[in-house]
Structure 1
Amino acid sequence: MASTPTRGRPRAFDRDIALDQAIRLFWRKGYEATSVRDLSDELGIGQPSLYNAFGGKRALFDEAVGVYDSEYGGFIVAALTEEPTAREAIRRILSEAPGRYTRRGLPRGCLVAYGDAGTDDPEVRAALTKMREGNTTALRRKCDSDVDAGRLPADTDTAAVAGYVMAILNGLAQRARDGATRRELDGIARVAAEAVPTFT
């Protein structure tokens, strides 16, 4: 007697893969424009399973942003940590940003820069603002250290320098989202780097 074929077992849910899919969806659309249904469809799981695995859209977004920063971002912190002077760190940040914002196979731009666009959720806005301000503060402190060491003029407005660099990065991220080529972004970054105050 022939045996009855059994149905294949459903593919096991891989939480890490699902989280990466969520990161990329939030990266493309932002928090506000991403619905729970979008997430359910993208991850290939039902909404109850989504809540069981991640605790809901807000909790998933918070986790996604944290993993994004460690897996796909982090180049600003790396440059500030590894380069000996603020000028070298700034030049590295500006030279790397165009490539970071136009990576093949990934959404364009930066989740931290624009993930809260259009949302009225104060906690989402506060979380991403804190991350952006953290990068700005770290850059200002790097510049302050160079002022103290005599590598920057004593009257350098370090807050303005840090704010300028971050504004350029936000602009590069937006141009990338608008479809600008890597070459165009590289040109903008080179012009921006030349505007950084001269170091002795």
Structure 2
Amino acid sequence: MARMQAFERDVVIRAARMVFWRVGYDGASIPELEQATGLSRSSLYNTFSSKRGLFDAAVQSYLDELIRPRLAPLQAEVVAPGALLTYLTGLRDAFENLQSMPAAYGCMLINTASTPLAEDEHVRQVIADYKRELHSALTRGLDAAIHDEACGEGANPEVLTALVVAGLAIARVDPREAAGFVSSAIRIVRNQVGSIDTERGPASSS
């Protein structure tokens, strides 16, 4: 029974996540969340204490299920030389696909950064932590690519992070411009490290 309850809770959170991602925290009404999750207002409040509690659970789900799996190759113990370009080209392709969630709705966290909810200390910290995690992942990916190509310094992880965040921020308004920001990051990396096979795995230690 406990496992079934946990599973149902995850399903509810994912359904609510879609609502928050699509219309934001302020735009998500309780009736809309009831309809999306199939739960009554009292059930939602009994489980998550408040609309804000449900939002916090949705944000954690967004990070754990959608963001971190994509960053995982850049956070591995051994980062493949092509991992950074694989991540960037995947993000660019998502923006260019107008039917994708990133193209349609951008980034749930970056969107929240421009709303009144970002004044909340906890939310502000979650967003800041996400940006640091993204920067760290991009830095490790760039280090792996540069070391593999025996190149000197040049590409700047701060610039790459800024371009990715800019793309995430503008995506729901202009996904093609978002793709352009990420394309700029790709060009910077390619100019620095040359052509890297994005399908290549990490170099063998043997």
Normalised by the size of structure 1, how large is the TM-score? 0.71
Report the equivalent of 1:116.
113
Distance 1:64 1:104, change over 3 A: same
Describe the superposition over 1:96-153 as per-residue Cα deviations: whole angstroms up to 9, x where unpaired: 1134455747452111322333122121111121112112123224445666777341
Distance 1:36 1:51 in 2: 10
Report the equivalent of 1:7.
none
- Does the 8 Å contact 1:108/1:177 carry over to 2? yes
Task: Flag the structure with larger Rg.
Answer: 1
Residues 142-153 of structure 1: pairs in structure 2 closer than 5 A: 142-144=141-143, 151-153=150-152
5+ residue gaps in structure 2? 195-206
Report the equivalent of 2:80.
84
Distance 1:126 1:38, change over 3 A: farther
Q: 2:57 aligns with which of 49, 53, 63?
A: 63
Distance 2:35 2:131 in 1: 30
Tell me, what secondary structure is at the counterpart of 1:24?
A: helix
Report the equivalent of 1:30.
24
Report the equivalent of 2:67.
73
Report the equivalent of 1:8.
none
- Does the 8 Å contact 2:110/2:165 carry over to 1? yes
User: Which structure dedicates a bigger proportion of its chain to helix?
Assistant: 2
- Does the 8 Å contact 1:27/1:115 carry over to 2? no
Give the partner amino acid of 1:76: L
Q: What count of residue pairs does the alignment treat as equivalent?
A: 181
Distance 2:83 2:120 in 1: 34
Question: 2:40 aligned with 1:46, yes or no?
Answer: yes
Task: Give the deviation of 1:95 after TM superposition.
Answer: 0.5
Report the equivalent of 2:200.
none
Distance 1:99 1:25, change over 3 A: farther
- Does the 8 Å contact 1:139/1:162 carry over to 2? yes
Give the partner amino acid of 1:97: L
Normalised by the size of structure 2, how large is the TM-score? 0.69
Give the partner amino acid of 1:65: V
- Does the 8 Å contact 1:109/1:174 carry over to 2? yes
- Does the 8 Å contact 2:74/2:140 carry over to 1? no
5+ residue gaps in structure 1? 1-11
Report the equivalent of 1:189.
182
- Does the 8 Å contact 2:71/2:137 carry over to 1? no
**Structure 1 residues 143-152 or 47-56, which shifts more?**
143-152
Describe the superposition over 1:54-105 as per-residue Cα deviations: whole angstroms up to 9, x where unpaired: 23223222221222123222313334537522xx233112111134455747
Q: 2:168 aligns with which of 159, 168, 173?
A: 173
